[in-house]
Structure 1
Amino acid sequence: MSDYTLYGHFNSQPATRIALFFNMAGIPFTYRHVDLRTGQQKSPDYLAINRFGRVPTLVHGSVSVTESPVILTYLAEKTGRFGGRDESEKRRIAEWLSWLADVLLPVQRARALRKFNGDANALPWIDAAAASGLAQFDEHLSHHDLIDGDRVTIADIFAFPWIDLAEEAAVDLAKYPHVADWRERMRTVPGVLGQYALMPQHDVEA
């Protein structure tokens, strides 16, 4: 039996990050599907492990961890995989996680509005914000193959699900060639799978 249980939903890109970490690290985990359509995430049982009523949640023994950047950091520390090798690297990766969550979030919003029939009136400013964030990301990647240094870290794992499905956000990655190249490099990393190949639609035992 696995030490780790991930609660998520197959359409959740934050949950995809955690499943991606496990797959890349070769670590088995138990998966619990949370039915967002029926409001399972707001049930008393679920709120007992995640006070925010969101996915993902990681349960590790008696510990519950929420919010994907925090979960990734926790897993990096517990497993010794994809995290910082010293305090300076750990701090820098934490900065990347915060920055990526800010500048790339509009890409996720643009996808969600289109995929789930959101408010079309919001699309112009969401698309503009996504373009701005992608331009900043592209500039960084024009000088670097990966987000932090020369190895894959949880910063790359954090960003990948958003960029992997960029076309669903109506993003033309030809406008951001360095981001497109980074995506292709990430797709060749052992254990990297896209969201639809990776995320179950039902409970899975380790």
Structure 2
Amino acid sequence: MNYKRFCLFFLLALLASCQDSNEKRLAENQKEAKRKEVIFTNISKNWSFYNEPINEVALETQSTWNEWRSFLAELGGKPQKTIGAFQKKSTTIVKKTYLLTTTIPPQFNNPAIKSRLSVLLTKIEMMNLFIHLDKIPDDKVVFLIGDINKELVSLQRQMDKIVEVDKIPKEEGESELIQMLKDTARAIPDTPNIPLKTSN
């Protein structure tokens, strides 16, 4: 008789613990769902990139630099349904940014533009990394969106500056001097190799 009571008590305890763990699991799932909803809402609300050229040069460059046009178009679209859509969009933006760094037009192929593109790519890759984490730090993603916009402005202003400098007429011999500075093999040595006369 004691054995039957013990078994009955054991079964009741087991059922009660299973019910408790189910309730805990449900509560945790609801809490996780709310957390993901808050993250999605925060990212969705702040997902806004400067996808329109800010000056004439950036606008005109769209017609000759296909990757620039494609990159700006990609920044313009905003995912709607899930955090997975934002993750996919972020990955695509990384690819488009990488293409920018490898297809720079000759006019803009200089250290100032390359460094700005490199910084832009780094920040976009960071955003992509954060948005793909299991626990997404939405505040960091939102912060990086603002930083990416600043880098976009900086890049377009530098493009404008390069075009403005190119419009300034060069003085006679200036282009040869610039070429000599770039091509150090042709440059005149700083000090001539003249043997020193020693007095006896």
Q: Give TM-score, length-normalised by structure 2.
A: 0.25
Structure in which a larger fraction of residues adopt strand? 1
* Larger RCO: 1 or 2 (CA < 8 Å, sep 6+): 1
